[in-house]
Amino acid sequence: MAEQKYYLPQPSYWPLIGSVGLFTTTFGFASALPGKAGDPMGNMLMMYIGLAILAFMMFGWFSTVVRESEAGKYNMQVDMSFRMGMMWFIFSEVMFFAAFFGALFYARQLSVPWLAGGDPGTNELLWKGFQQNWPLLQTPEMAVKPDADLTFSKASGVIEAWGVPFYNTLILLTSGLTVTFAHWALKQKNRTGLILWLCATVVLGYLFVGLQASEYGHAYHALNLKLSSGIYGTTFFMLTGFHGLHVTIGATMLLIITLRSIKGHFTPERHFAFEAVAWYWHFVDVVWLGLFIFVYWL
């Protein structure tokens, strides 16, 4: 046949190393977590070893793939398999965030109004005096218990949408543009433009993470807004936290394709890794818009 054959890799030890890494990480973490609330955290060493194994695996596995790709072993069909893999992976990430957005909407639309009297019996018998409020600074518990006995900490305020979160929105949207400029530059064989626009995207990505981190510091210390501040703090930190983690991963992936661009990888026709990272970056961008609207603004 005229068409080049589908590339079938030889047996590989990287997946098994990955499994050992995943197991070591999660087993280490689970062993370190206390059995009962209040017990101290155990030794996290095993978890760090597991994370190191995972990092080693990713470096080794991805290097192998990059080497094979640069050696021209992949035909268009392999390229399409990779594309589908990345698209469906991003879809799975969308569904992961959907679970947490679902929890947010459920709390705002159903559980908090029910606790505040939408379900009269619950309010009368268990949380008498609790009134609906959002952001939920007054938890149901605060309505019925003295401050000293609270399980969930009392927050004095929330992060306002039109301060740093708004600037972060602009930063992420701009980074979505710069990564597109980089793509154009790549397609026009403008290597310098590609590298510079990618560097700009990486800087914007990490800038976003840095600003988020400082906002977290502000929330924890100045506002006493924590994971344990009731359902507002819960959904706020879990949603923005997982998003921040994804931005960090995305920015690191951008950094890697920047380094690969500097090494001369990618051609105007063939640059799957670049596109995969760009898709991922647009995905974290879109999630952030959802967060900005539903967590910070409305």
The amino acid occupying position 64 is T
Q: Which is nearer to another protein, 29 or 48 (CB)?
A: 29
Contact set for another protein, span 178-207 (CB under 8 A): none
Ramachandran angles phi, psi of 100, nearest 5°: -75, -35
Contact set for another protein, span 124-153 (CB under 8 A): 126-127, 136, 139-141, 151-153
The binder of another protein chosen from 110, 177, 286, 289 (CB under 8 A) = 110
Least Å distance, CB 24 to another protein, is 9
The binder of another protein chosen from 226, 243, 260, 271 (CB under 8 A) = 226
Contact set for another protein, span 236-275 (CB under 8 A): 237-238
Our CA angle for 282, 207, 44, nearest 5°, is: 95
Verify binding: residue 230, another protein, rule CB under 8 A: yes
Size of the site for another protein (CB under 8 A): 76
The binder of another protein chosen from 16, 52, 177, 249 (CB under 8 A) = 16
Q: Which is nearer to another protein, 60 or 193 (CB)?
A: 60
Verify binding: residue 68, another protein, rule CB under 8 A: yes
Which residue, 70, 65, 95, is CA-closest to 81?
65
Verify binding: residue 45, another protein, rule CB under 8 A: no
Which residue, 180, 142, 172, is CA-closest to 247?
172
Verify binding: residue 27, another protein, rule CB under 8 A: yes
Verify binding: residue 227, another protein, rule CB under 8 A: yes
Least Å distance, CB 277 to another protein, is 17
Verify binding: residue 59, another protein, rule CB under 8 A: no
The binder of another protein chosen from 111, 174, 224, 252 (CB under 8 A) = 111
Q: Which is nearer to another protein, 51 or 238 (CB)?
A: 238
Stretch that binds another protein, among 90-98, 212-220, 255-263, 272-280 (CB under 8 A): 90-98
Least Å distance, CB 255 to another protein, is 23
How far from the centroid of its chain's Cα atoms is residue 200's Cα?
20
Verify binding: residue 298, another protein, rule CB under 8 A: no
Our CA angle for 250, 89, 253, nearest 5°, is: 20
